[in-house]
Structures are given as structure tokens and as C-alpha cells.
Amino acid sequence: MAAPFSWIRPEPHGIHVGPADCWIDPSRAVDRALVTHGHADHARGGHGQTVATPATLAIMDLRYNTREGATPVEYGETIRLPGGVDAAYIPAGHVLGSAQILLEHAGERVVVTGDYKRRADPTCPPFEVTKCDIFITEATFGLPVFCHPPIAEEMRKLLDRLAAHPERCVLVGAYALGKAQRVIAELRAAGHHEPIYLHGAMERMCRLYEEHGVSLGELRLVADHTKDEMRGSIVICPPSALNDRWSRRLPEPITAMASGWMRVRQRARQRNVELPLVISDHADWGELTRTIEEVDAQENWITHGREDALLRWCQLHQRRARALALVGYEDEDD
């Protein structure tokens, strides 16, 4: 008998599943990759075979033209990999198509969360707590200071500011995959049905969301409209365009940014953000610790962010844990 869990190993470039010779979210091209979701630090091009949800595969195809070798797995479906390893994809509540991956081998169960959150999100199904022996969790916002406010509060701030300045516009910097579409869908849920203007770089991803059943209402391209038409409107752009020459075509923009990092005042200042909106697609400290409790695994492996505080929390709560040292993960401006 092999030692328990010797079939799954953290390596610097990803989690390796020995009997199936495959990698989860590898940071370099491999023969067989299981991908949790479409963000660039998890989904890379160039793999021989890519196993992911249909939406994640569509996102990867849009970004890297990687239709070849794509193996779709629906939520709740289990596929058999070589070496007697079963993999199931379970909603992670992070962005469209995002999944946790449950691996089962020799009666042992491991869950890899990828990125996740526990808050409701109109653009993807909610995170499902899945019992397992080893729980491999992200820790992007793994410090007690991170406590994301309800998104309705942040939407209210945004709409109030817009109403107070009908001659201007509010320019919201938002990550192009996930955050932008969630902000638009939440604005619609808050009763804002005016056209929303988009930077050209957001257009294709918004269309892809709509093709996957997420309604975003009337979207217009900034390039097709005059300054006067955009007065009193919300404009969405990638964070990199916030302080760019591009924004000169807008009517006196009030600069906002939607990100969990907006909790940190210095980050808002660095980007000259007047209206910081604390909106994240990652679990905050309370969600991370609650999830570890609910999953109640024998062992927790912590990765992708601020591992130390969460490791300490596990120790204080008599939970076995270790921090992994994977390379190539970024904050993804989230």
C-alpha cells in the first residue's frame, strides 16, 4: 500500500496528481492540465489536454485560441482520469465557469478550491461545501483586516455619486474577467437600467458572459459615442486604463475602482481612485475561516496569497495545516 495521499503533491509549478500524471492550474505548459477557472494565473495556454468547465474552456479559447485538446466537464459531472483518479468539478462562486476540483483516488478525497468566494454572485452558481480529507484553499485575502462589505452598499455608493453629478460620468476600473460583469449585473439588480458604456477591451468577455446566459442589459462602446451622450452614465474599463489618455474622451470622469484591495487606502491612492469600491471575487477572512470549519478536513493546505495568518489560525483552532509555496500566482487586481 502506498502512503496516504502520496498520489497528490504540491510542486512549485502546480499541484501534481501522480497516477494520472496531470497538473492542477500549472504555471507552465504541461501534457495534461486540470484548470479551475479562466484567470491568467490559473489558466495558461499551450497544454496538450485541458480539462475544465465549458465556460472556462470558452474563456481560454477567447484568450489563447486553445480549442485543441479541450475536454469539457460540466458541474457535478465526474470524469475518470488515467491511473484510477476521478475528478469532479464543483461550483466555486468566483467567476463564470469557476470550479473547485474534487479528486478521488484509493478512497481518499482531495478538494482544490482554486479561487472562491461565499457571497452571492448573479454571474455564477454559488460555492458548494464539499467534504474531503485534504482541503487545498486559496488565501488571497487571508488577513483578519479583510472583511468585504455587502455589495449592495457599494452599489449604493456608486449610484449616489452618479446621481449627485449628472453632468459627469463615473469611470469604474474593474478586472476584465469576472469583476466587470458582476458589477454590471449587480447594477441591474439595484435597478440601474440605463445603458452602460464599455472600454473596447471589455466587449468580448461581456458578450461571452451573455452567450452563457448572464444578462447584462444594454451595453455601449465608448468609442461609438460622444462626450455629451455619456454624461450621467457609468463607464467600465480595465484597471490599467483608469489613468490612461483614453479617459480624456469621457465627460469629467469620477474615478472609481472595484476591488477587494480598495480596503487598503494606499492602494486606492496609488491609482488616484476617488471612489474606492470594496468588491472582491475572493473569500474574505471570515469566509476563509468559516469554509475551513465547514469543510472540516483532516488537513488544510493553504496557498495563493497570505498563507501565514491562516496557517496560524488553523494551529490555534487545532486544525492541521501547511502552507504551500507555489509560484506564478498574482493578485489579479481583484
CB of 17 to Zn ion, least distance (A): 19
- Between 195 and 328, whose beta carbon lies closer to Zn ion? 328
- Between 113 and 289, whose beta carbon lies closer to Zn ion? 113
Strand partners, 22: 17
279 close to 190: Cβ distance less than 8 angstroms: no
CB of 11 to Zn ion, least distance (A): 17
- Between 115 and 307, whose beta carbon lies closer to Zn ion? 115
- Between 186 and 281, whose beta carbon lies closer to Zn ion? 281
- Between 39 and 319, whose beta carbon lies closer to Zn ion? 39
Cell readout for 129 is 461545501
CB of 264 to Zn ion, least distance (A): 18
CB of 332 to Zn ion, least distance (A): 5
Nearest 10 degrees: CA dihedral of 235, 149, 129, 92? 20
- Between 55 and 230, whose beta carbon lies closer to Zn ion? 55
List contacts with Zn ion (CB under 5 A). 39, 41, 115
**What CA–CA distances, in Å, run from 130 to 56, 92, 102?**
21, 11, 8
CB of 92 to Zn ion, least distance (A): 9
Instruction: Phi first, then psi: give them for residue 156, nearest 5 degrees.
Output: -60, -45
d(CA 135, CA 291): 10
d(CA 63, CA 66): 8
Cell readout for 255 is 474615478
CB of 178 to Zn ion, least distance (A): 7
- Between 175 and 197, whose beta carbon lies closer to Zn ion? 175
CB of 193 to Zn ion, least distance (A): 29
51 close to 128: Cβ distance less than 8 angstroms: no
d(CA 183, CA 157): 13
Percent of residues in the chain assigned helix, strand, coil, to nearest 5: 30, 25, 45
d(CA 253, CA 161): 11
User: Sheet holding 108-112: strands in order across?
Assistant: 78-81, 85-91, 99-105, 108-112, 134-139, 299-305, 320-323
- Between 41 and 210, whose beta carbon lies closer to Zn ion? 41
E strand or H helix that includes residue 299: strand 299-305
CB of 27 to Zn ion, least distance (A): 11
CB of 218 to Zn ion, least distance (A): 28
- Between 59 and 250, whose beta carbon lies closer to Zn ion? 59
Q: Residue with C-alpha cell 483578519? A: 144
151-164 and 179-189 helices, crossing angle to 10°: 70
